[in-house]
Structure 1
Amino acid sequence: MSAGLIHAFVLDGEGGAKKLDWQGLQSWQPEHGELWVHLDYSVYESKEWLIHGSGIDDTVADTLLSEESRPRFSLLDEGLLIAWRGVNHNPKSNPEDMVAIRLWSDEHRVISTLKRELLAVNEVVEMLARGRGPKSLSQLLIEIADRIVWRIGDVVDEYEEQMADLEGQVIERGQSNLRSELSSLRRQVIALKRYLAPQKEALMRFSVEKISWHSQDDRIQLREVVDRITRELEDLEAIRERAVVSHEELQNRISEELNNRMYVLSIITAIFLPLGFLTGLLGINVGGIPGSENPDAFRYFVLGLISLIIVQFLIFKWKKWF
């Protein structure tokens, strides 16, 4: 990357592209071919070029330089203003902490800006390097959108595997520490879904708008991307619901275990309550205690307590208390 310029390519119309530096970008003209400029908006040179050298409207430049943006699609007189979000595969980052990419497109060029690396863009660059990339700017936008959605699908698949594993653990073990894992997964799903819902709407608008430099095949491909992101949203909603059901099942299992323990303690208490009463009654330090002068009295008393336990056991069994 040279002072904010991550990539600049002139498409050759055959799936390849010629790479430009800042000097080549400054001298580019529409007759040279369709241009894709990819910038790090946090670098000063990128800001200067967008505001003073790109020739785009100031409002569009401000949007391309904005720190925060939700997914959107706007059809302006001069072109298209798009904001998408892709999953974050950067080191020590969470996938749901999504990377924002903003794009401006007209029939001659695409300008894209971001701050953090986005694998979907890198894959498109590699395709161009191999001569198997998009042949037009319209296909370039669709390819970026398609790669973003595929990457989102990979994360959703990982969430589904985590959910299936947690469901198995809930059924097999039902340990209380699974609650935090279920809650964490639900938070991740909700965070990802937060951006995918408006992204779906942006892609739908992109697919239905009549744009002069988009062919019918381009619209069909866009609809495929919309269908795929719709399925990913449905899968995320299913994962969230499964997490809720598993959390409830876990709570029920924990409550059942607690009730079983309380039940056992109640039975033990019921058995030893009369025994404690009798031992306490005969243990008072006053005269007239029965058997105090009889050397076999303790033996008879113990046998009486054992008999009482047996009678209690039979009564509990008869009442089906256990």
Structure 2
Amino acid sequence: MIRTWLSKDNPSVNHSHEQAVAHWFEQAEGSIWIDIDLRSFSQAKTEQLLKRFGCHPLAIIDTFRPRHPPKIELFDEQVFMLYRGIENCLGELKFDHMQLAMFVGKNYLITLHNGPSQGIENLLQQHFHKYLQQPLSLASRIMHSASNLYLNQLLEFEDQLSELEEQLSSHGDDQLLGTITRYKTDILRLNRIFNYHLSLSKKLLQLEQEQNIAEIGIDQPVLQDLHERFERLYSLSSMYYEICGDLVNGYLSISSHKLNNTMRVLTLITAIFVPLSFLAGIYGMNFEVMPELNHPNGYFILLSCMLLIAVSLISIFKWKRWF
């Protein structure tokens, strides 16, 4: 399916496939935004359309690759961008990601994706028509719209992270540790995506100075706003990742400290009973010649010695503050 929006006259949506595009080529007036859902449009027709716009063959190949890291490339009077878009927001830092390819020219924007793009659909519900005359700014607003979904999830997670900190400090357990570890993995995955997007926005700001891209038309505040949004997403995800790591390390340290205390108590108990067991083992031997066996008070003397040893060891451990 192809959807088109024209900046000439009243911006309108057209579902008549290539007819609207052919009409725009004939008129050669205004700017056009072509949105293609690759699920319902053949690859051959898509390639034919892209070639008609003068898209580079290597960029076309990257468009149809199932997985490719976000990037930006500058060709002759055209900018090619790959963005990690969002198909569905599942909540709790989980997203169904999709690859969104964008070809930006002086008076056209072509977006290609498999499935519905939340960034595009959200932008369509806003006042996007004012950006049709500046295709690169329109592409930036699409990415900015998708980044809002990321930001909302991160801000919701901030409150949840505070609750996790309180639970972990009061009554942490292995189940809670597993939850934090899972969140840590999800944040790391998002952090890698944000790092790609931050590099993309930096490259856009650098290309702003290029003479070729200047002809396309740039709204510098829009690009700066997009860059600042990606910086915030990257910094937040990095900070939350470090906090989750600190929580995991803190829980492991507390658990290790508790285990050490338990082992210390068991060791001290063992140290007290070792000499007592030694004496009990000696006088438990069945030898005929044992002088202490014939002593009338031998039993009480041995108990007194064992009690003295135990009290002495306990006193030493108390003095050493091992208890």
User: What TM bracket, shorter-length normalisation?
Assistant: 0.7 to 0.9
Is residue 135 from structure 1 mapped to residue 130 from structure 2 by the alignment? yes
Q: 2:170 aligns with which of 172, 177, 185?
A: 172
- SS at 2:129 equivalent: coil
1:25-40 paired onto structure 2 within 5 Å: 25=20, 27-30=22-25, 31=27, 33-40=30-37
Percent identical pairs in the alignment equals 20
Among 207, 212, 219, the residue aligned to 2:215: 212
Distance 2:139 2:19 in 1: 22
Task: Kindly report the root-mean-square deviation, in angstroms, between the aligned alpha carbons of the 2 structures.
Answer: 3.2
Q: Match of 1:74, as an amino acid?
A: E
Question: Separation in 1 of the partners of 2:244 and 2:90?
Answer: 27
Name the amino acid aligned to 1:172.
Answer: S
Instruction: Look up the match of 2:46.
Output: 50
Structure 1 residues 206, 306: CA separation in 2 closer, same or farther (over 3 Å shift)? same
TM-score by length of 1: 0.81
Alignment of 1:1-322 (within 5 A): 5=1, 7-11=3-7, 16-22=11-17, 24-25=19-20, 27-30=22-25, 31=27, 33-43=30-40, 45-54=41-50, 55-56=52-53, 57=55, 59=57, 60-87=59-86, 89=88, 95=94, 98-127=97-126, 132-137=127-132, 138=134, 139-208=137-206, 209=208, 210-215=213-218, 218-289=219-290, 292=293, 301-302=302-303, 305-322=306-323
Q: What secondary structure is seen at the aligned counterpart in 1 of 2:83?
A: strand
- How far has the Cα of 1:84 moved from its partner? 1.1
More displaced 10-residue stretch of structure 1: 296-305 or 246-255: 296-305
Distance 1:69 1:141 in 2: 19
CA–CA separation in structure 1 for the residues paired with 2:224 and 2:56: 31
Closer/same/farther in 2, CA of residues 10 and 320 from structure 1, 3 Å limit: same
User: Secondary structure of the equivalent of 1:272?
Assistant: helix
Cα distance 1:299–1:17, how it changes in 2: closer, same or farther (>3 A)?
farther
Q: What is the TM-score normalised by the length of structure 2?
A: 0.81
Q: Quick one: which amino acid aligns to residue 170 of structure 2?
A: E
Tell me, in whole angstroms, the C-alpha distance in 2 between the residues paired with 1:26 and 1:146: 26
Residue 226 of structure 1 and its aligned partner are, at CA, apart by 0.5
- 1:271-293 alpha-carbon deviations (Å, 9 max, x no partner): 11121112111111222456757
| Structure 2 CA distance for partners of 1:22 and 1:34, relative to 1, 3 Å | same
One-letter code of the match for 2:3? Answer: H
Structure 1, unaligned stretches of length 5 or more? none
Consecutive unaligned residues in structure 2, runs of 5 or more: none
